[in-house]
Chain A
Amino acid sequence: MSVWQYIAHFIVAMAATACFAVTFQVPKRHYLACGMTGAVGWLAYLLGTGPLGLSAPLATLLAALPLTALARLYARRHKAPLTLFLVCGIFPLVPGAGIYYTAYAFLHGQSAEFAARGAETAKIALALALGIALVCGLPLPAPKGRPDQQPR
């Protein structure tokens, strides 16, 4: 992909994530932050699958790291729960298509396809969850006025 295509993907991913922020009823002041989180995750995923030649689950794990870091940064800056940025930001990476294809193969009795798609979907979901857990587990100095709350 050319640089322009990466830029186009970044912008569209941002817009699409912001759209999902609207459907998840995030307050308006966070739209841009949600969009950035989603776009950074998607760009990292594209770089992982493209130039780095990683498999989809590995690229997802890689993409989850900057995505979650950015979400944590925004959560602290905006004094808002991490969930807001995380749920919207992971939207481009979640294996929505994968779980759909898995169910489709199951209904059509295509056992081999079902197993392959199901395993791939499970791997991607696990990679995403692990990436989130890794970055959330990083201890940071507690923010002021909230010594007892650390994200997990």
Chain B
Amino acid sequence: MPDELPAAPWAKPESALAQRQLRTHRAVELITDAGKTLLENGGEVFRAQQTMEIMARALGVPGFHCYVITNGIFVSADGALHEIRHVPSVSMHLARVEAVNALSRRLAAGPGAMTLEEAEAALAAAAALPDPDPRWQFLAGVGGAAGFAFLFGGALPEMLLAALAGAAELGTRLLLARLAHGRVSRLFANVAASAAGALAALLCGSFGPLAANVDTATIGALMILTPGVSLTMGVRDLVNADYLSGTIRLFDALLVAGSLACGVALAWLLMGQLGVPV
């Protein structure tokens, strides 16, 4: 969309008005998409709302109002403009959050600091920041599992066992994602991953050279999957008097925790059937 269309002389007043409305519309789309990018990559609700309001002020959008909750954004502007975004799931990608934040900083630096076109390009670049190498993600998860086994009072055998169980969890997840082409149900993935982790910990921890405290190792490995952060962020929303967003996050955390416990219970049942003392 070019900045200024060559207007036909007979249509000049209308086209100037139409162009201003067009630009306002584009600005509102940009702002709403920035908010969506923040939400779906792990930004807080109030931060998304604040950022959108700052951007609207910087871009001079008249009559801008927005309402943000954990999984949706509602915007109206200029009397007749409305935008809605649904954010069904969050996957943490804090580099994108930082990039959108940097964009809003540049926009707010002063009038004329950034044109609408530049801002649109910056947002597209932020949303397109690549997912890093899954091998690094895997290694980091395994390292985190071992670290938490230590923090929860484990020694070297527990750390190794937790690393193994964490590897089983993450491997199951990656495998499922590949088999289902990334469209695997979150509930199923959680049950399968925690069952695989618990099975690995029980099998290797009960026999052989890795005999260790299986409980410490299991909980260390499960820390990768537990929704502790979303629980805490939910309570933060509640403390900020944003009851709707807080409740959504709390229920999400409960669902995830329930599916993890379900997976571990399945693993124990299976081992009980096989005659392994648990």
Contact = CB atoms under 8 A, between A and B. Distances in A.
Interface of A: 8-9, 12-13, 15-16, 19-20, 22-27, 42, 79-81, 83-84, 87, 90-92, 94-97, 99-100, 102-104, 106-108, 121, 125-126, 128-130, 132-133, 145-146, 148-149, 152
A19 B143 contact: yes
B43 A83 contact: yes
Interface of A is mostly: helix
Interface of B is mostly: helix
B43 A95 contact: no
A99 B101 contact: no
Interface range on chain B (Cβ under 8 Å from partner): 35 or more
- Which of A12, A25, A133, A148 has the most C-beta atoms of chain B within 10 angstroms of its own C-beta? A25
B257 interface: yes
A25 B105 contact: no
A115 to B, nearest CB: 15
Contacts of A133: 236, 239-240
- Which of B227, B232, B260 has the most C-beta atoms of chain A within 10 angstroms of its own C-beta? B232
Nearest to A148: B54
Contacts of A103: 254, 257-258, 260-261
A24 B43 contact: no
Given A19-B143, A107-B258, A146-B105, A24 B239 contact: no
27 contacts: A19-B140, A19-B143, A20-B140, A22-B137, A23-B140, A25-B92, A25-B93, A25-B131, A26-B98, A27-B94, A27-B98, A81-B43, A83-B42, A83-B43, A83-B94, A87-B229, A94-B229, A94-B232, A100-B222, A106-B258, A121-B231, A125-B231, A125-B232, A125-B235, A145-B108, A148-B108, A149-B50
